[in-house]
Amino acid sequence: MKSYTEYLWFNTKSLKEIIHITPRVEEIVKKSGIKEGFCLISAMHVTAAVYVNDNEEGIIQDIMEWLEGIAPFKKNYKHHLTGETNADAHLKSLLMHQQVIVPVTEGKLDLGPWQRIFYAEFDGKRNKRVVVKVIGE
């Protein structure tokens, strides 16, 4: 078994942003030379997430509105007593998950017909990274 690792870096223009990263992950899988295995894509920050869903603007907007409804920005979060102001970003990250694992079959991501991979940032405007690790044969 072998593994291959690369990092994706992001510095979003806004605090909250969703970025389609499937093509970048596909390129990493191709570079890895691994034909059969798994690809782990993991946000390395507690205020970001990686998820799989449809690459359709309406659902992307719906996801952001849904998250804001469940974990809205509020001034009275206990976390803010530490001097931070990003408690809602931590909560949104928990809802969306830190990472996904996608099968690799015949050297390609084995996604369903509408599935795409996204990086979700909830406390941006600074350097953040995602680790992409391909494991297999």
Q: What is the CATH number of the domain that holds 123?
A: 2.60.120.460
CA dihedral sign, ordered 101, 106, 112, 115: positive
pLDDT confidence of 21, banded at 50, 70, 90?
very high
State pLDDT tens for residues 109-124: 999 999 999 999 999 9
Which stretches of 81-127 are assigned E, i.e. beta strand? 99-105, 108-109, 115-121
Residue type (1 letter), 108: K
Q: What is the DSSP letter of 98?
A: S
- Residue 39: predicted pLDDT: 98
| Number of domain units in the chain | 1
Q: What is the DSSP letter of 13?
A: S
State pLDDT tens for residues 30-89: 999 999 999 999 999 999 999 999 999 999 999 999 999 999 999 999 999 999 999 999
- Residue 90: predicted pLDDT: 97
Q: Label residue 57 exposed, middle or buried (CB < 10 Å: 0-12, 13-18, 19+).
A: exposed
Enclosing domain of residue 52: 2-136
For β-strands 99-105 and 108-109, DSSP reports them as: antiparallel
| pTM passes above 0.85 | yes
